[in-house]
Structures are given as structure tokens and as C-alpha cells.
A = this chain, B = another copy of it.
């Protein structure tokens, strides 16, 4: 506390009072979009210029105060929370789209730019930035970089990291540096860029990014297929992938989700009442190839026993379908008092087994489950839904169910997290997947970037 008070004074003296956020606002930094917290920070700073970030990191280093960088706070694993106390570095003030280079198909951005705003800006120029986390209207590009955020379109285009060519960062040692390149390819030295992407603010603070762009696809269609159960839907996913279709998105929703959506009447197309699983398939590209892709995708769904296949060609219906999909997490949260959302990923051939395991684990521990997500990548959001007041042992049962899900995922050759990261929430489970030598090596790398251990201490590693 003494150190924090002194740090605050030094920040005001060296950087300026305008970067210190009013303590009355600090409450909104105590949580993210997940279940952890509250962890009220001791001090929140919101720089407006890149050079201020450098000063702030150096001051934290000198005062040995922990610093947690924060984008828009839409993460779910607590990676941006100040659980050790200390400083939250809110990067929302660095919100400039510095340059969009249509000729070289790249852009320079600051970390606080809202992902959806950036997409709109490049699309207005006939360009395309594919990464589309569900929170894209609120989340920031810097946060996407810190978590290597995914989203439905990762199925065809890859996750955020696939679009990050280079980064401007401030290391935990208080050095500003530029890593990566502006060319598409580059093997000059180690790939520091992709070591930083997904490192959850534990190695360096992002102050700028060079992002790769694509030309905007000429057209897109969305297909919504309904199935009797998840087994049939995941069979359709594998048939599409094995047939070499490269849909922009291939998203599955299980029985619980299908029931909630059918009951809500929110789906923009007609769905049979008995639907036990849904599949969103988006195809995009040249108008010429699209018809064939769409027909092929529909055919694969029918082979897998689809109850119905509806095609949304007009923009309004497509938008409506995707809005429902993006809102699914919040729709579930509105129906159950508590929701624990995991994001395990398995080799795609194991998707049916993962779907079945998620359901079986819920039944075994008597916890409602709802699974949905990026089936084309083998990445499923398995949600455990409950009312903490419903039974004295419910929290213990949920904890056991989560642990069982992770154990099954690893046994299937999968990983704890496909896109949310580890943060605080999954930290205790890391040893299930990574042995002591791999963990020790990562901590050694962290010491190289952040010798004093001030950046997000204790995150990721148990």
C-alpha cells in the first residue's frame, strides 16, 4: 500500500495526473466477463500515448508493484484482474487506427481499438479483418492479441495470431521494442510476435500491432441445419471437413442450446421443434464458387441425417442468425443464475466424443450443461449451468464436473483452452496438460521478458 501510494505520486509527477483513473471508477476493473473476482485494483492508469506506457511500466518496475494490462475486460479467465493488488493498466486510451494500407493489405493499430470498429473501418475500404470473437462489438484488438482470440471465422481464416505480423511492445524490463515484420513471410530471428500473442499480458504490454488484411469476400451465405442430436451434427461437421469444404464458419449448438433458442423464437429461420442440435455453416468467397460450396455443405448435412437445412442468402437473415449465435452465451447466462464456461479443444476427429462426454459429465454430476462453439476447429464451449442456492453441494459438483471435463479432453488428445486462455481460472489444471519441464521452461522465458516479475504475476502458471 505504501508502495502504491508512492507509485501514484510518481505517476502524477512523471506522467501526469490525467492518466490516473478516479478511484470511484476502480470498481469496474475488479472483474472481467468470467466468474472470478472481485479483485479491486489499488490503482488504475489509462495512458493516452504510447510513450506513457513505457513510463508507467518503468515506474511499476522501480516500485516493484504488479501491473495487469487490460483491454476491454471481455475475457473470461481473469487474466486482466489485479488479484495480486497493484496496478491495472487500461489500454482503452490508445485507440487509434494509425494506418490502413490497402495496397499492401495491412494496418497499423493501437491496442484499444474496438475489434468491431476496426472491421467496419476496413470493410468500408473493401478490405476484411476476419477474427470475430463473440464480443467483437466490445472487445479490443489488444485484448484479442493478448488472448489470441478466436471466433467462428477462425474455421477458414485462423485465429487472431494468423493476422498479427508484428507488435510494438513494452517488456516487463521497461524496454520498448518492435518485433515481427510487415511482410507476409519473415524468418529473421525467432518468432517473438507469436510468443507474445496469447501470452495474456505476462511478458510485455502491447502498444501497437501490424495486422494483415484480406480483400473483402464478394459474397457470403449462411446455412442453418438442424439435427436430432449432437452425434448427427458432429458427423455433419466431419463430413464437411473431410470433403475439403472450407466454410468460413462451422458452429455447433447442442440440445440445451437448441431448446433454448427454439423456445425463444429468436432464430431467424424455421427450425423443427424436435431439433436436438443446430449447425451454422457460413460460406464466403467468389459468387461463382459459392453456390457449389453451399450445395456441397447442405448435401453433407443431409447425409448426416439433418432434419432441416435452411439457407439465408439475404444480409438481414444472415445477420439475425449470427446475432443469435453470438448472443448464445448471454442467453444462457440470463436463464441460469451461474454459468461456468469452458472452451476445450480436441483433434477434430474427436468432436463426437467430446460432445458425448460433455453431456455424460453433466448427467453424472447432476449439473445442467450446454455446449456450443467452433466445431470446425474442434473447439467447444462447454457451459456448466446452475443456481448456487439450489443445493449445498452444487458448487462442489460443478468443480468436479469441470475437472472431469479437462481430464477427458486431455485424454482425447485435446487442450484446456482453445481461445479463452488460462489466466486465473484454469491455472490449477495446467499440470494436467503440461508437465513440470514445459512449465519451468515457460517461466524461464517469462524471466527473460520480465526479470522482476511485475507483469501479471501468477497468471497462467500454478
Contact = CB atoms under 8 A, between A and B. Distances in A.
A441 B345 contact: no
A103 interface: yes
B377 A414 contact: no
B185 A379 contact: yes
A384 to B, nearest CB: 19
Classify chain A's interface size. 35 or more
A292 B291 CA distance: 12
B418 A187 contact: yes
Interface stretch (A59-67, A330-338, A346-354): A346-354
A419 interface: yes
A446 to B, nearest CB: 8
A449 to B, nearest CB: 7
Given A184-B379, A378-B184, A178 B438 contact: yes
A244 to B, nearest CB: 4
B181 A345 contact: yes
Interface in A376-399: 377-379
Interface in A89-141: 101-106
A416 B188 contact: yes
Contacts of A286: 244, 289, 292-293, 296
Interface string A423-449: 000100010011101110110110111
A228 interface: no
A346 B179 CA distance: 15
Contacts of A345: 181, 183-186
A318 B169 CA distance: 46
16 contacts: A105-B348, A105-B349, A154-B185, A161-B191, A177-B438, A182-B347, A183-B347, A183-B418, A184-B348, A185-B345, A187-B415, A189-B438, A189-B460, A192-B195, A215-B242, A447-B448
